[in-house]
Amino acid sequence: MLTLRLIAESFGFAWKALRSNLLRTILSLLGVTIGIFSVIAVLTLVDSLEKNIKDSLNFLGTNVIYIGKFPYVAEADGEYRWWEYWRRPTPSLNEFKFLQTTLKNKSAMGIFAPKGGTTIKRANNSIGQIGLRGAGNGYDEIFEINIEKGRYLTGDEVEAGRNVGLIGYEVAKALFPKDDPIGEIVKISNLKFKVVGTIKKEGESFLGTPSNDYTVIIPYNAFRKIYQTGTGVPNELQSIIGIKGNAFDVGLVELENELRGLLRTKRGLRPLEKDNFALNRPEAIANVISGIFDVFSVAGWIIGGFSMLVGGFGIANIMFVSVKERTSIIGLQKSLGAKNYFILFQFLFESIFLSLIGGFAGLVLVYLLTFIPFGSLDVVLSVNNIVLGVGVSSIIGLVAGIVPAAMAARLDPVAAIRA
């Protein structure tokens, strides 16, 4: 009851101070408002940008390690030795079959080969710059394929390399503007392929990364009938092996260690020889991105920190004036038995409430910022940032009000009443 009474009285005094000296209070709280707005706005934009970029990398899959020639990021010394990577052997179908039978720490694995800039035809209609993918068994377990109509490739179709395939939303829209594509024929490199399924619309990502909307998926062995995928072919035709780890394998440590050992054995590498393959993870790119955005977050805190410092002095000024104006009231309260902690908490709560008003004003401005269109960037004010804004505002009010509150609590009741 005492706590609720303290909070109610403190809120009442804070509201009275706000109304009686509106201009002074608003100017004093402006620093807190600008500070909270600066910090939370930067954090919101950084979080939104990071989320949009990471969502754009979803096409790489999650909890997956890819075997390839080229690493996604530079080595520990910061150098990207492309001239060494170029000479590495390409992952092969034999290696895939070897790993398929010997690798234990996996939940799924598949081999696939990409080919960009492909033209797909159907009667008098055609669409170019399509991403063609030759998918082996397990491809749909590594990548999320949302079927809209029809079905996915069967195991028999993949193994036999039959001329069947799935087409993306934009491909279906261009080639079959009015007809149902299921069961129809399309041409890829003058070979006929039967459409067995269509993929749901995904839309454009923030970075414009590959989307299944402009993708055609055919069996891996059918792809190999059209294009050579062995060593010495262009990079866009080289096969990639993807291995999905187990849920209990945190950080895919067990999978990576086993995979490295098996690949080194298969390729006949001596103990002191360097790996002639890259084990890539989508998380590596995400970690680089997170490191860059951490710099922007620190900059936001520095910019907002100066504003919040000014705001803290403004609130302290209000509280010093409030103590002076209510000195006689404090004396009466203490003469009637009010304890020092009661007076202390009363002024502390008042200071926190004033700071929260400024903080909420800053959060409202950030919320309004989310309605401004930023193209394909989706800006969202998260609950974590709202809690952070409220928390920082409370701390500013606590720090700014501690000295005036302590002065009020230490006042002599007789001297206070005389004042």
pLDDT in tens, 209-262: 567 888 999 999 899 888 877 665 566 567 888 888 887 877 778 888 888 999
Between CA 131 and CA 188 the distance in angstroms is 12
Residue 295 has pLDDT above 80, yes or no: no
- Tell me, rounded to whole angstroms, the distance of Cα 144 from its chain centroid: 18
pLDDT at 58 over 60: no
Judge whether residue 122 has pLDDT over 60: yes
Distances (CA, A) of 210 to 56, 141, 250: 8, 18, 28
Q: What is the arithmetic mean of pLDDT over 54-62?
A: 62
pLDDT value, residue 193: 93
Half-sphere exposure of 29 (CA within 13 A, CB side): 25
Give the pLDDT of residue 195.
Answer: 93
- d(CA 412, CA 23) in angstroms, rounded, equals 32
3-state SS class at 274: coil
**pLDDT by residue (tens digit) across 139-194?**
888 888 889 999 999 988 988 989 999 999 999 999 998 888 999 999 998 899 99
How far apart CA 372 and CA 378 sit, in angstroms, is 10
Q: What are the two backbone dihedrals, phi and then psi, of residue 294, each rounded to the nearest 5 degrees? A: -60, -35
DSSP 6-18: HHHHHHHHHHHHH
Contact 358, 33 (CB under 8 A): yes
d(CA 222, CA 135): 9
Write out pLDDT tens, residues 89-104: 888 888 888 988 898 8
Q: Could you state, in order of their start, the residue ranges of all structural domains in the chain?
A: 2-56+287-418, 89-276
